[in-house]
A and B are shown apart, each in its own frame.
Chain A
Amino acid sequence: MKQVGTERVKRGMAEMQKGGVIMDVINAEQAKIAEAAGAVAVMALERVPSDIRKAGGVARMADPRIVEEVLNAVTIPVMAKARIGHIVEARVLESMGVDYIDESEVLTPADEEFHLLKSDYTVPFVCGCRDLGEAARRIGEGASMLRTKGEPGTGNIVEAVRHIRKVNSQVRRVVSMSTDELMTEAKILGAPFELLLEIKKLGRLPVVNFAAGGVATPADAALMMELGADGVFVGSGIFKSDNPEKFARAIVEATTHYQDYKLIAAISKELGTPMKGIDIATLNASERMQERGW
């Protein structure tokens, strides 16, 4: 019996992306640059996060014309973002044949209480997380891939570092706990008990976990890999830099060879200026996208 949309098929798709870089793009031209640089997938958006910050107002799913343009431009997988809890945006993207949906805090949430029941869909989902509780709740809802949230559109890696360290240290803690301690840990984390049992058994999260939110340089991407990310999302970092082609290539190489420091030095030369960064402390609580999601 042939079955589509199974957990194995959806999680497996993310496994194929491991060690790779997923790049935000806003049109066919950028998508082709990303593909040529060696991106494993592109995220089709109307605006990159730093421009969403500047524009303010409500950020929604991209115009389907942009998504379609990107779908037709490249042969690598295409992802797109839907608002948290926006069932119809997600269904629309699924119907268009998008390969992965990001239920994303970068957009303005449509629901401040409930996330999507992602296990209901044939298309797989990626979701953001800042700690193991959030990660486990998203997996419980059916997310097939995770990414740490970081603080999108800032070009500042500090929040991404905080989140990947937090998630990984909490995973290590669960793995080292004895089984009779896990129910209380589940209660403390707000995580499904069964998932903690699975994490303990596997010794890791049951899905791929990328890093996102603030990657601006090849060294940032390599740092995320060093800290145990399975791969990297780069949003504003590439197309807000001086030389997107070079930047994109350099970030891909730094991700693959994240412990080859001589190589990272070589590819970081003469890259031009990375995107201008923002100090997180200057952001008001209402400007922090990472607080969205529950």
Chain B
Amino acid sequence: MLKIGILALQGAVREHIRQIEELGCRAISVKSAEDLKELNGLVLPGGESTTMRKLLDRYELLEPIRALAAAGVPMFGTCAGLILLAKEIVGFDTPHLGVMDVVVERNSFGRQVDSFEVEMSIRGVGKDIPAVFIRAPHIVAAGENVEILAKHEERIVLAREGQFLGCSFHPELTEDLRVMKYFIEMVRENTNVLAH
């Protein structure tokens, strides 16, 4: 059974665990470097990116997660998780994990009163997928190896670069499992490659 970790320092952890388990994988809450062992994939959930960063630093999780990324383990970041993955954050000097070749802007759709939900089509995933945007970031620029999977109002809101999947919105707040399923397929392919 595939083991998918969820960074569990703060934020929407429970929702991801539910989706991962519904798709027949084992979900592991990650609170320390110990918990990263033998993971086939890692989810970085929504929450407050500034809070998560402080806690990542304090518990020395940044380097172990970067090492996991360097080892090719697939990672899926939603909202704050996307901000953690990005190589560059508009208005900030340094990134967090800085592993995915995208530039993101925080709170780029406005404050909470501007938060919204919409149905959209996602390349390789499907149509009419409910997407919940909460004080969401978006991808301002993407490197040449980044595949753009979805846009909303001309802004990139879902993209993949090899092992990394970065998402502005929150598939975990809906009953629709298709985006998570897409990520688990990424994990499965990667695990099969390693096995051969």
Q: A residues touching B (Cβ–Cβ < 8 Å)?
A: 1-6, 8-9, 12-13, 15-20, 35-41, 75-77, 94, 97-100, 122-124, 252-253, 256-257
Chain B residues contacting A37 (CB-CB under 8 Å) are 54
- The number of A-B residue pairs with CB atoms under 8 Å apart is 115
A3 to B55, CA, bound (A): 33
Residues of A within 8 A of B58 (CB): 253
Indicate if the CB atoms of A9 and B80 lie closer than 8 Å. Answer: no
Task: Tell me which residues across on chain B come within 8 A of A38, comparing CB atoms.
Answer: 50-51, 54-55
CB-based nearest A residue for B111 = A97
- CB neighbours of A18 from chain B (8 A): 10-14, 47
The chain B residue with its CB closest to the CB of A38 is B54
What 0/1 readout, one digit per residue, does chain B (127-144) give for beta carbons within 8 Å of chain A? Answer: 000001111000000000
Query: When each residue 94-110 of chain B gets 1 if its CB lies under 8 Å from chain A and 0 otherwise, what string results?
Result: 00000000000011001
**Beta-carbon contact of B117 and A20 below 8 Å:** no
Say whether B51 contacts A252, CB under 8 Å: yes
Closest CB of chain B to A120's CB: distance in Å? 13
Q: How far is the CB of A45 from chain B (nearest CB, A)?
A: 18
For the complex, give the distance between the alpha carbons of A252 and B58 in Å: 11
Q: Which residues of B contact A (CB under 8 A)?
A: 8-15, 31, 46-48, 50-51, 54-55, 58, 79-80, 106-107, 110-119, 132-135, 170, 173-174
In the complex, what distance in Å separates the CA atom of A40 from the CA atom of B51? 6
Across the interface, name the chain A residue whose C-beta is closest to B130: A8
Cα(A252)–Cα(B59), bound, Å: 13
Contact B50 A77 (CB under 8 A): no
Contact of B115 among A9, A36, A41, A253 (CB under 8 A): A9
B118 neighbours in A (Cβ, 8 Å): 1-3
The answer on a CB contact under 8 Å between A9 and B117 is yes
Q: Specify which chain B residues have a CB less than 8 angstroms from the CB of A36 in the assembled complex.
A: 54
Specify the chain A residue showing the minimal Cβ separation from B78. Answer: A16
**Bound-complex Cα distance A13 to B80 (A):** 12
Is B10 touching A20 in the complex (CB atoms < 8 A)?
Answer: yes
B112 near A13 with CB under 8 A, answer: yes
Other-chain residue from B47, B79, B117, B119 in contact with A8 (beta carbon distance below 8 A): B117
Known A-B contacts A5-B113, A9-B116; A16 and B132 likewise in contact (beta carbons under 8 Å)? no
Q: Assess whether A100 is in contact with B51, with CB atoms less than 8 Å apart.
A: no
Q: How close is A124's CB to chain B, nearest CB, in angstroms?
A: 7
- The residue in chain A whose Cβ has the minimal distance to the Cβ of B152 is A2
**Is there an interface contact between A16 and B51, defined as CB atoms closer than 8 Å?**
no
Contact across chains for B106 and A75 when beta carbons are under 8 A apart: yes
Q: Quick check: B116 and A3 within 8 Å, CB to CB?
A: yes
- In the assembly, what is the distance between CA of A17 and CA of B10, in Å? 7
17 other A-B residue contacts (CB within 8 Å) besides A12-B132, A20-B51, A123-B112:
A4-B114, A4-B115, A8-B132, A9-B117, A16-B134, A17-B11, A18-B13, A19-B10, A20-B11, A35-B50, A75-B106, A76-B48, A97-B111, A252-B54, A253-B55, A256-B55, A257-B31
